[in-house]
Structure 1
Amino acid sequence: MNIDRMEFISWMERIMSRLDMLDDHMEDMQKHRSSIDGEELLDNQDLLQMLKISNRSLQRYRSSGKLPYYTISGKLYYKLSDVHQFIRESFTAPPSRKKANK
């Protein structure tokens, strides 16, 4: 397949134009991300990936009341600040070991 320089440039311009459109679309999605009271909301998928836990573990944290959640139109959401608080409370540093004096 042999294409001339002008045709190649035209293809590249179309590709770049589409990439620019995708970039604009992604920026719009970031701006319109779900929030409540100005605070970002995370959904189940966000949390599963962030915490690297199973769906069942996430359900257990909700059921036990350790992780507050909100239901909006049948979908579960978590405030980012609540997730940070949950992490601080759940994953504390292990106690330091005392060295034996000899």
Structure 2
Amino acid sequence: MMKIKSASQLTDEQFKDMVLLILSELLNLHHKTHKTHLQYYDSADVKQLLKISDRTLQRLRKSGEIPHIRIGRKIFYPTSFFTEAARDLRKE
């Protein structure tokens, strides 16, 4: 059985990593259980939606062309950005 340290036994960096991991896991769980009402896509969703590679998605993030948030090691993209972009394309 793994022994878990109390929060007072963790360094600030360990505590921060633990909180980020928990938030990331909660967001993943929410993502899996609420697929019909997603507020965020993960990288795999965006690559599939836009039919682009990892590198292209990375360039879009770096250039600021696509909004994103990072939680721990995971990156999420607001679905509203894609909905609005698709709506704008239909108007043209």
Compute the TM-score of the two structures, normalised by the length of structure 1: 0.47
Unaligned runs of 5+ in 2: 1-29
**Once the 2 structures are TM-superposed, how far is the Cα of residue 80 of structure 1 from its aligned partner?**
0.2
Stretches of 4+ aligned residues off by more than 6 angstroms? none
Q: How many residues align?
A: 62
Larger-gyration structure (1/2): 1
Structure 2 counterpart of 1:41, which letter? Y
Higher relative CO (CA 8 A, sep ≥ 6), structure 1 or 2?
2
Partner of 1:79: 78
* SS of match in other structure, 2:39: strand
Cα distance in 2 for partners of 1:68, 1:80 equals: 10
Q: Classify 1:56/1:50 alpha carbon distance in 2 versus 1 (closer, same or farther; 3 Å).
A: same
Structure 1 residues not aligned, in runs of 5+ = 1-27, 94-102
Matching residue of 2:33? 31
The structure with more helix, counted as a fraction of residues: 2
Q: Percent identity?
A: 34
